[in-house]
Structure 1
């Protein structure tokens, strides 16, 4: 028997103003997308903005449904739109922001498990890492250089 140690390195910006200008611009798009989320059940809105290698920016937000499993998270809304409209483009960077309509969200909120799996699929497909930046409504912003930092020992097509 042996132990395996898994480590992740994340960069934490103290606030939005510390972000490089290109990332701040991408995060602004995610913030705008979050404002249009349809979240009448959870009152928790999420916005995503994706920069593609063709310089297109695709946004998405969560879309809830009274039949909870039928809704879709912001990250997957944006990723699947990018995949359908720009099938040959690679995802370079993602900016994510989430907030509650009930109380202020200041803790950085990473993608949920299902979204991590969807992002992993595209990272494997395009054979390049995707930078992911995530935040609450305000406060710290976390950067991961790759989805692999957020989902170690991921499941992908190599297991099938």
Structure 2
């Protein structure tokens, strides 16, 4: 038997104001998307903003449903909208902000597993990483230069 060690490298910003100006604006777009979330059951609101290679910004928010599996996360809402409406553009940067309405989060909240897999699919498709910034309602912001930092063993078409 042999053991392997897998490490992730993230940049940590103490708060939103430390981000580069263009990323601050992208995160503000994520805040706006978060504010439009439809989350009457969990009261957990998530917003995502995607910068595409053509300069377009695409926003998504989580959309819940009484039949829980029928809802969709903010990240996938934005990714699938971009894929459907801008199929030839690359996903360059994603900003995510998430928080509970009753319990505001100051901890960076990363994408869920399903969203990580969706981001991985697009990284493989476009042969280019997606830079991901994520945070709670306030506080620290984490930056990952690629989804591979958050999901080191991605499932791709190579396995099919």
Gapped runs of 5+ residues in structure 2?
none
Write the deviation string for residues 36-76 of structure 1: whole angstroms up to 9, x where unpaired: 00000000000000000010000000000000000000000
C-alpha distance in 1 between matches for 2:93 and 2:104: 26
C-alpha distance in 1 between matches for 2:38 and 2:153: 33
Consecutive aligned runs of 4 or more in structure 1 exceeding 4 Å deviation: none
C-alpha RMSD of the superposition: 0.5
Matched residue, 1:51: 51
Gapped runs of 5+ residues in structure 1?
none
Matched residue, 2:83: 83
Aligned length: 160
Report the CA distance between 1:103 and its aligned residue: 1.2
Q: TM-score, normalised by structure 1?
A: 0.99
Matched residue, 2:7: 7
Matched residue, 1:131: 131
Write the deviation string for residues 7-62 of structure 1: whole angstroms up to 9, x where unpaired: 11000000000000010000000000000000000000000000000100000000
Matched residue, 1:18: 18
Matched residue, 2:73: 73
